[in-house]
């Protein structure tokens, strides 16, 4: 029986943790049923490296933005710069952008400005926005809702680990929640309950590799293959057989990341 296919919707294959190992990492992903992955550029200065990975490996797509924790140290990206990237056949999302007040609350105003730039780019390109949100639930819900009233756009709350109120705000806007290794940790029952209350047709899975490895790899480097562990926990959360949950998350990814879905990936 074939292994159900899933997609790692968010990883960072350009990070030094994977240097010299990408052939093996992507091969292990395929063995685990992870036949696509989206690698995320967090600083526009790293764009060339991230784009080259997507161009080298058929299963890899890419997205780009300025991560909120880097906004203070990087030039403010423009809407036009992001729109220009959309011409690339494997550029499939705007992100990760967002708000992070845990470590970088002092750059709050710049983060909000940057977030609005990224939202505008998502709106104009039709590509999904990929959101990072930490310790910023109230501002995030307010800005996403304000901007959606100005003009609709699609979005995934990457590595969702915020509260029920932000989850509801995002779902009410038609957005998606992405389940990372955090949702598999023993102490994350409250988070699993938030996912369980969400529509299963709005759930994605991801690793955020090299971070947040799920059990049995917790505490070590994460990699795309391990999204299968998170997806198995997701199947339990939603009371579904693994194959059914995998198929559902594939359909969800295809709906949100329609440009990636339209790209033919070699098997």
Chain-centroid distance of CA 12 in Å reads 10
Residue 119 near residue 160 (C-beta atoms within 8 A): no
**Mean pLDDT across the chain:** 97
- Going by the DSSP 8-state scheme, the letter that residue 226 receives in this structure is G
Within 13 Å and on the Cβ side, how many CA atoms surround 25?
28
Distance CA 3, CA 93 (A): 27
Distance CA 69, CA 111 (A): 8
Q: Tens digits of per-residue pLDDT, 64-108?
A: 999 999 999 999 999 999 999 999 999 999 999 999 999 999 999
Torsional sign, CA 176, 181, 185, 187: negative
Name the maximum alpha-carbon separation found in the chain: 53
Model confidence at 167: pLDDT above 90: yes
Distance CA 46, CA 243 (A): 36
Percent of the chain predicted with pLDDT > 90: 98
pLDDT, mean of residues 158-173: 98
Distance CA 138, CA 110 (A): 17
In whole angstroms, how far apart are CA 79 and each of 73, 84, 113, 256?
18, 9, 12, 21
Model confidence at 161: pLDDT above 80: yes
Domain ranges of the chain: 6-262
Sorting pLDDT into bands at 50, 70 and 90, what band is 267? very low
Answer yes or no: pTM beyond 0.95.
yes
Domain spanning 6-262: CATH superfamily: Metal-dependent hydrolases (3.20.20.140)
Question: Pick from 104, 169, 98: which is nearest to 132 by CA?
Answer: 98
Give the tokens for residue 202: 């709005």
Q: Tens digits of per-residue pLDDT, 38-62?
A: 999 999 999 999 999 999 999 999 9
pLDDT score at 265:
54
Question: Pick from 82, 17, 27, 31: which is nearest to 58 by CA?
Answer: 27
Length of the chain: 267
Model confidence at 201: pLDDT above 70: yes
């Amino acid at each position: 029986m074939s292994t159900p296919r899933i997609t790692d919707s968010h990883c960072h294959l350009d990070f030094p943790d994977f240097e010299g190992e990408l052939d093996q990492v992507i091969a292990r992903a395929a063995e685990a049923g992870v036949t696509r992955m989206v690698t995320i550029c967090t600083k526009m200065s790293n764009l060339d490296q991230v784009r080259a990975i997507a161009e080298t490996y058929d299963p890899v797509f890419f997205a780009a933005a300025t991560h909120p924790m880097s906004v203070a140290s990087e030039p403010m990206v423009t809407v036009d710069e992001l729109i220009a990237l959309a011409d690339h056949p494997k550029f499939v999302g705007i992100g990760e952008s967002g708000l992070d007040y845990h470590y970088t609350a002092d750059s709050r105003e710049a983060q909000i400005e940057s977030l609005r730039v990224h939202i505008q780019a998502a709106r104009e390109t039709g590509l999904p926005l990929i959101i990072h949100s930490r310790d910023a639930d109230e501002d995030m819900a307010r800005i996403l809702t304000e901007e959606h009233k100005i003009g609709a756009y699609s979005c995934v709350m990457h590595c969702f680990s915020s509260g029920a109120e932000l989850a509801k705000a995002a779902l009410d806007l038609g957005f998606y929640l992405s389940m990372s290794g955090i949702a598999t940790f023993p102490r994350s029952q409250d988070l699993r309950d938030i996912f369980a209350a969400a529509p299963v047709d709005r759930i994605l899975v991801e690793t955020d590799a090299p971070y947040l490895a799920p059990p049995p790899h917790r505490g070590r480097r994460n990699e795309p293959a391990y999204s299968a562990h998170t997806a198995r926990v997701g199947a339990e959360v939603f009371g579904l057989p693994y194959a059914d949950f995998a198929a559902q998350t594939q359909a969800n990814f295809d709906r949100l990341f329609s440009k990636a879905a339209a790209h033919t990936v070699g098997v």
